[in-house]
Amino acid sequence: MNVINKILDRYKFVLHHVWNICSKPDATLRYESLLNTFYGKKILQQFILPLAEILLVVAFLSTLLYFDLNLASAIVKSIFTYLIFIVSFGGSMFLVRRLLQYRFKIEIDMRNIMLMVASLMAVVFVVKFFGYIFPGLFFVSLFYLYNFYLVWVMSEGVIDIPEEKRNECMVLVSFIVVATPFVVEKLLNSLIPNL
């Protein structure tokens, strides 16, 4: 019973934080709030990996239910979904850090970049999750636009962008976080083109 409670607690924290990001970003994404939320937690292990695990299960079930693929193909496709999410997090962090350093001449602590990209990946998670559950609803992808607002909220405190540069930062960072999963997915799908 103790093991089940630990598993439930792992996903409960993650899903609760995703809900807070989507429902009340002004309170959730302030720097002090993010620090309190992730205090003593490792962002990759305790936030990104559980989200990727949920996507793995949903992708597997969705592939079996909605697509005409065999079990082996469904397993490979779901593993790709898991890898795409994790690699996209790392790639987005790298690109956002480079963008802030070279375009905006700002040195940001890596922890702050992790906080920001992890919060933006929550939107990617929601889009992918509902995209797998309802594969015919193409307009779910419009939720990616929510990242613009989230970057705006975090541009003061988390990354401290001057006000005159916030619009540009909002567009570029949002584009990076949304485009990276598509690029990673294309690269992985080129390895096994029949999936």
pLDDT at residue 157, as a whole number: 76
Q: Model pTM?
A: 0.88
pLDDT at residue 160, as a whole number: 77
pLDDT at residue 8, as a whole number: 80
What residues contact 149, with CB distance under 8 A and at least 6 apart? 25
pLDDT tens for 34-64 read 888 887 788 988 899 999 999 999 999 988 8
What distance in Å separates the CA atoms of residue 104 and residue 86, rounded to the nearest whole number?
26
CB of 164 closer than 8 Å to CB of 181 = no
pLDDT at residue 193, as a whole number: 65
What's the residue count for the chain? 195
**CA nearest to 173, candidates 96, 85, 89:** 96
Low-confidence ranges of the chain (pLDDT < 50): none
Integer angstrom CA distances of residue 140 from 4, 62, 124, 125, 130: 32, 16, 11, 12, 7
Which tokens is 134 given?
């309802």
24: left (phi over 0), alpha (psi -120 to 50) or beta: beta
Instruction: Using the Cα atoms of residue 168, residue 123, residue 87 and residue 15 in order, give the sign of their dihedral.
Output: positive
pLDDT at residue 190, as a whole number: 83
CB of 53 closer than 8 Å to CB of 81 = no
* Per-residue burial over 48-73, b = 16 or more CB atoms within 10 Å of its CB, e = otherwise: bbbbbebbbebbbebbbeeeeeeeeb
